[in-house]
Structure 1
Amino acid sequence: MRAQQQNMKLLALLPVLLAILTFGQSNAAAGSSHLLCYYDGASFIREGLSKLTLNDLEPAMQFCTHLIYGYAGINPSSNKLVSTNEKLDLDLGSSLYRSVTGLKKKYPALKVLLSVGGDKDVADEESSKYLTLLESSNARIPFINSAHSLVKTYGFDGLDLAWQFPKNKPKKVHSGIGTFWKGFKKIFSGDHVVDEKAEEHKEEFTALVRELKNAFRPDGYLLGLSVLPNVNSSLFYDVPALINNLDYINLHAYDFQTPVRNPEVADFPAPIYELNERNPEHNINFQVQYWLNNHAPASKINVGIPTYGRVWKLTKDSGLTGLPPVSDADNVGPAGVQTQTPGFYSWPEVCAKLPNQANQHLKGADGPLRKVGDPTKRFGSYAYRSADDKDENGLWVGYEDPDTAAIKAAYVKSKGLGGVALVDLSFDDFRGGCTGNEKYPILRAIKYKL
């Protein structure tokens, strides 16, 4: 009788035990966010402090779940996947591929993928080889075979498709007659059309992904998609048809505003939420919601976070407040000392221009920028220096730092998304020069928040 009573008690407790077990499993799943780290091999051949060697790269691997190495490209004659560094005989000749995948010996849980495209494979805008390849099933075959061969030969765990689709054209704010005339011109000029064959290319890309996954599946290779900045997802990606053949989607939801795209107006490059009276699509939340609304599992979506800033040159007409959007900017700001790219600063280059003991008494082009944080946690940080009496030395920088990156990681966590894609390790402070010898501060901030 007593044994029967004990059995009854156990049966009564069974639902509670199951609930506890399920809760524990869901918590474990929620705590297993992915952190996919991009490493552009071109940084291996830079000069000076921006050169990122494999020895410099290794400390980051304790934080990354995936390393995405780029970039491979397409040979337009053979339609095969090739190294974009062939002229330097770097990837294949010097076996940097093997060195990168060799990191798995020390970090066995790390997955290393090869990325193709990434806006690094120079393409002719008039006849993009990335679109031409899609249009022929015969052209897709050598691409798929070469991709499988490269992945297998060099020990990669899969392929990342950072496909170079045509970009959205920059949208400018017009008023009154200007708005009417702009719309009137578009009716005849067709300059609003990004790709006249977008619907066909969408179907063909779906076929490519399906064929690639079928080739990869026997070996268990991963296949991921990187949606590059300013590529319209609704034009080129059939989400329901793609999703089952992809292991992840990295949304590179940044660079909405850059001095190249919008030379006359400085504005937040990568806000989380919609800015007042701006394009409602130019924010992380819109991009994420689009994929969720089209039945992409949250667990497969990763939000791209950059490790750099975009720089505009300000004029006397830009005003003194720095409050974006700042009009009357004068195109790209001067290149950073390390990265040597106009309109672009890595995080260490931004950090060096913020107020510190070394620059507090300097003037002119060497003077510190005024930092403005984001108490709303919605849009991002910026720093600026108004133009002087000679209409010189004015700068406006919208950038990512450890604090804003942590805020975005918190957004990812609150949405139950798969994780974060960090772009790029070589623009984080991998030497620890800005933060008291703590290397990779943006990467660390994201990892700790996740």
Structure 2
Amino acid sequence: MRLFNALLLLLALLAPPSALAADKNLVCFYDSASYLRQGFAKLLPTDLELGLNFCSHLIYGYAGLKPQTHEVYSLNVDLDMFHYHEILLLKAKYPKMKVFLSVGGDRDVDEANPLKYIGLLESGSEGQQQFIDSSIALLKRNGFDGLDLAFQLPRNKPRKVHGTVGSYWKKFKKLFTGDFVVDPQAGVHKEQFTEFSKNLRAALQRSNLSLALTVLPNVNSTWYFDVPKIKNNFEFINLLAFDFLTPNRNPDEADYTAPIYPLTEQNRLPHYNIEYQVDYWLQNQCPGEKLNLGIATYGRAWRITPDSGLTGVPVIPETDGPAPAGLQSQIPGLLSWPEICAKMPNDVNADYRGENAPLRKVIDLVQRYGNYAFRPADENGEHGMWVSYDD
């Protein structure tokens, strides 16, 4: 059960595990920071073996980027010096599995330099060569098969769903304020990323190493990735098409976090769905066999208030940020699958009240948007919760 906290399954366009025999990818992700968790959430490298029979690739997360020198480095030297070795020993048991080191993700948090990956793109050939040389040295020294770029590029601004009056007001404001521009130099950065990834791939190939790309949630592919020009630079491309809305990004309202298809009602944004994200790459000449669709093995949980209503039907208004952390995940607003299952009605919790009262599960019968579960706020306005998840 602990695997659910640390393995992110990236299915090649939803290919079943049996498709691996036909050289399809099932890319598994290991967040090394899970070793530092306490209790049931702690994950040892040996625990991975339960799932590795199914994995064509294992991505080890994460390495970081030094903002001044643009060098790749271990985010936790004391941990990684042992973990690299333990993880790579697994290759002897699973010789067909390739192990990649991922750079960036959501672990390389640098509040003093939040745009350091943009800085790498702007650093020119000299700075980018520092990245290339240091990454090859790290990969070769530790026996990795390749590098995964999970760059923290600027992300879409969170947008609140507006009612009819709100929509008109928003359009009116645009006459004076314009759209919110996250990266005014996105076009330039797209060209820089194209050139950088081409040079990086060539250098890795000379060292018999591979290159992959991971598009993080809410990083806008249209801004940074010139698909026709970069598609051949990568062995495969992982699209993390989930967490479109989260309690941290969208504290005031709750909605499906990873719908497969667009929901047009209630003025939802058209790109907050899996179909849109995958279609962008396919329609821009990326071969389908290179794309892996990322699936989150957890749910996102909001705290709901008396003003959120009783029906549980999203969009849920007047939410109050993340729900309390679970005992296993220990992260406010995030619940592992086992934690969600434990909150479903069962013989043990049927008569519980308050924070331990069971959630009401609502199944997505059309299999287009995902399931959700909820518990309205009680008579004291407390203990309300709404969870979006896939099972």
TM-score w.r.t. structure 1 length?
0.79
**Residue 352 (structure 1) aligns with:** 342
**Residue 90 (structure 1) aligns with:** 79
**Residue 129 (structure 1) aligns with:** 116
**Residue 46 (structure 1) aligns with:** 37
Using the alignment, how far apart are the partners of 1:322 and 1:179 within structure 2? 23
The alpha carbon displacement at 1:164 in A equals: 0.6
**Residue 370 (structure 1) aligns with:** 360
Identity percentage of aligned residues: 52
Code of the residue aligned with 1:91 in structure 2: it is: D
**Residue 252 (structure 1) aligns with:** 240
Code of the residue aligned with 1:179 in structure 2: it is: S
Code of the residue aligned with 1:42 in structure 2: it is: A
**Residue 228 (structure 1) aligns with:** 216
Change over 3 Å in CA distance of 1:159–1:126 after alignment to 2: closer
Code of the residue aligned with 1:345 in structure 2: it is: L
The alpha carbon displacement at 1:118 in A equals: 0.7
**Residue 446 (structure 1) aligns with:** none
Structure 2 matches for 1:173-212, cutoff 5 A? Answer: 173-175=161-163, 178-186=166-174, 189=177, 192-212=180-200
CA contact (8 A) 1:186 1:192 kept: no
Code of the residue aligned with 1:64 in structure 2: it is: C
CA contact (8 A) 1:39 1:69 kept: yes
Using the alignment, how far apart are the partners of 1:326 and 1:73 within structure 2? 37
Change over 3 Å in CA distance of 1:82–1:181 after alignment to 2: same
**Residue 104 (structure 1) aligns with:** 91
**Residue 66 (structure 1) aligns with:** 57
Using the alignment, how far apart are the partners of 2:358 and 2:234 within structure 1? 45
Superposed CA deviations along residues 66-125 of structure 1, whole A, max 9, x for unmatched, are: 100000010112211011224xx2113xx2112111110111011100000012111348
Code of the residue aligned with 2:137 in structure 1: it is: S
**Residue 400 (structure 1) aligns with:** 390
Using the alignment, how far apart are the partners of 2:367 and 2:202 within structure 1? 42
Using the alignment, how far apart are the partners of 2:114 and 2:288 within structure 1? 35
Of residues 210, 213, 224 in structure 1, which corresponds to 2:201? Answer: 213
Of residues 373, 380, 386 in structure 1, which corresponds to 2:370? Answer: 380
Structure 2 matches for 1:301-320, cutoff 5 A? Answer: 301-320=291-310
Using the alignment, how far apart are the partners of 2:255 and 2:352 within structure 1? 26
Q: Which aligned segments of 4 or more residues in structure 1 are displaced greater than 2 angstroms?
A: 27-33, 123-127, 173-191
CA contact (8 A) 1:170 1:262 kept: yes
**Residue 55 (structure 1) aligns with:** 46
Using the alignment, how far apart are the partners of 1:309 and 1:155 within structure 2? 34
Which stretch of the first structure deviates more once superposed, 162-171 or 184-193?
A: 184-193
Q: Does 1:334 align with 2:324?
A: yes
Change over 3 Å in CA distance of 1:371–1:240 after alignment to 2: same
CA contact (8 A) 2:345 2:359 kept: yes
Using the alignment, how far apart are the partners of 2:21 and 2:185 within structure 1? 40
Change over 3 Å in CA distance of 1:30–1:238 after alignment to 2: farther
SS at match of 1:59: helix
SS at match of 1:90: helix
Superposed CA deviations along residues 372-431 of structure 1, whole A, max 9, x for unmatched, are: 111101010111111111001110000122xxxxxxxxxxxxxxxxxxxxxxxxxxxxxx
CA contact (8 A) 2:194 2:230 kept: yes
Q: Does 1:139 align with 2:130?
A: no
**Residue 9 (structure 2) aligns with:** none
Using the alignment, how far apart are the partners of 1:28 and 1:259 within structure 2? 35
CA contact (8 A) 1:257 1:268 kept: yes
**Residue 270 (structure 1) aligns with:** 258
Using the alignment, how far apart are the partners of 1:293 and 1:339 within structure 2? 38
**Residue 417 (structure 1) aligns with:** none
TM-score w.r.t. structure 2 length?
0.91
Superposed CA deviations along residues 116-159 of structure 1, whole A, max 9, x for unmatched, are: 00121113487511101110121111111011111111111101
Q: Does 1:292 align with 2:292?
A: no
Code of the residue aligned with 2:39 in structure 1: it is: G
Using the alignment, how far apart are the partners of 1:29 and 1:103 within structure 2? 19
The alpha carbon displacement at 1:324 in A equals: 1.1
**Residue 136 (structure 2) aligns with:** 148
SS at match of 2:197: helix
Code of the residue aligned with 1:61 in structure 2: it is: L
Structure 2 matches for 1:10-29, cutoff 5 A? Answer: none
Superposed CA deviations along residues 234-267 of structure 1, whole A, max 9, x for unmatched, are: 0010101101111111000000111112112111
The alpha carbon displacement at 1:356 in A equals: 2.2
Code of the residue aligned with 2:357 in structure 1: it is: G
The alpha carbon displacement at 1:327 in A equals: 1.3
Compute the RMSD of aligned alpha carbons: 1.8
CA contact (8 A) 2:160 2:253 kept: no
**Residue 113 (structure 1) aligns with:** 100
CA contact (8 A) 1:72 1:115 kept: yes
**Residue 8 (structure 2) aligns with:** none
Q: Does 1:37 align with 2:37?
A: no
The alpha carbon displacement at 1:170 in A equals: 1.2
Superposed CA deviations along residues 288-331 of structure 1, whole A, max 9, x for unmatched, are: 11100000000001100010000001111212111111112111
The alpha carbon displacement at 1:174 in A equals: 2.7
**Residue 7 (structure 2) aligns with:** none
Code of the residue aligned with 1:119 in structure 2: it is: D
Change over 3 Å in CA distance of 1:136–1:269 after alignment to 2: same
**Residue 75 (structure 1) aligns with:** 66
